[in-house]
Amino acid sequence: MLFLIDRRNRGAFPELLRSMHRDRKRLFVDIFGWDLAHEKGEERDRFDDDSAAYLVLADEEGGHIASVRLLRTDRPHLLDTLFSDLCEGEIPRGGDILEITRLCLPLRKKTRVAARNILARGIIDYAALAGVASYTAVCHMAFLSELLSAGWRCMEENTRALLDEGWRCPRDAPRLTLNQSDLAA
């Protein structure tokens, strides 16, 4: 089952959130080797505050399968705070733009693809409910093909520039955008 967890209902999901933070530590610190703060086997950062929202896919026992964190861009977020050098132009911000971060998927490909697709649908549904016009994300370029295969559309005229630049994002870098036909699908 997919849950939207935010400041309004966070107290109802303490074990699921702990399970998510443990899996984030396992994936990002232990497997990917990222130098992230962690304690008691859980990865959390300063953006895991009351303004963060999470889409969390749980199994029948209430354990974490996959998750993504959604951050407002009208306040500090990863792209403007830690990765501002990735953008040559103005960093996308606004009340209708959210940043997708800490995508935590299962390692097994079959499970990962199914979980990714459920989260992608949840991100689209959340946009429809919350009035989100677009999302930004900082991710490895290898993941771009997974985003595209999940049905996301990037601004086509900028995709080639993004691929040529590697981790740098040109002035008008692709953003994951949504329109009414996406939301109705």
User: Residue 48's domain is classified under what CATH number?
Assistant: 3.40.630.30
pLDDT score recorded for residue 160: 35
Range of the domain at 22: 2-184
The low-confidence residues of the chain, meaning pLDDT below 70, are 88, 140-144, 146-185
pTM: 0.80
Domain count, the chain: 1
pLDDT score recorded for residue 110: 80
pLDDT score recorded for residue 35: 87
Does residue 42 contact residue 104 with C-beta atoms inside 8 Å? no
What gap in Å lies between CA 13 and CA 149, rounded to an integer? 31
Average predicted confidence (pLDDT) for the chain: 80
pLDDT score recorded for residue 43: 95
- H helices of 29-169, in order, are 78-81, 109-130, 144-149, 156-165
pLDDT score recorded for residue 14: 96
The number of beta carbons lying within 10 Å of the beta carbon of residue 57 is 23
pLDDT score recorded for residue 5: 97
Side-chain-facing half-sphere of 98: CA atoms under 13 Å: 21
pLDDT score recorded for residue 58: 95
pLDDT score recorded for residue 173: 43
pLDDT score recorded for residue 165: 41
pLDDT score recorded for residue 184: 44
